Amino acid sequence: MPGPVPRLEHVCDLHVEVATPLVVGETGLGERRVIPITGGKVVGPRLNGTILNAGADFQIIRENGLTILEAKYVLEVDGGGRVYIDNYGVRFGSPEAIDRLKRGLPVDPSQIYFRCTPKFETSDESLRWLTQKIFIGTGIRRPTHVEIGVWQVD
Q: Which tens digits make up the pLDDT trace of 59-117? A: 999 988 899 999 999 999 998 999 999 999 999 998 888 888 888 888 888 999 999 99
Check whether 34 has a pLDDT greater than 80.
yes
Average pLDDT over the chain, rounded to an integer: 94
Check whether 143 has a pLDDT greater than 90.
no
* Burial tier of 106 (Cβ tally within 10 Å: 0-12, 13-18, 19+): exposed
pLDDT over 70 for what percent of the chain?
A: 99
Closest to 82 measured CA to CA, from 45, 54, 44, 115 = 54
State the Cα–Cα distance between residues 148 and 117, nearest whole angstrom: 11
pLDDT over 90 for what percent of the chain?
A: 82
What is the pLDDT at residue 95? 85
Domain regions of the chain by residue span: 8-153
Check whether 37 has a pLDDT greater than 90.
yes
CATH of 8-153, one of 2.40.160.20, 1.10.730.10, 2.30.180.10, 3.30.429.10: 2.40.160.20
What is the pLDDT at residue 96? 87
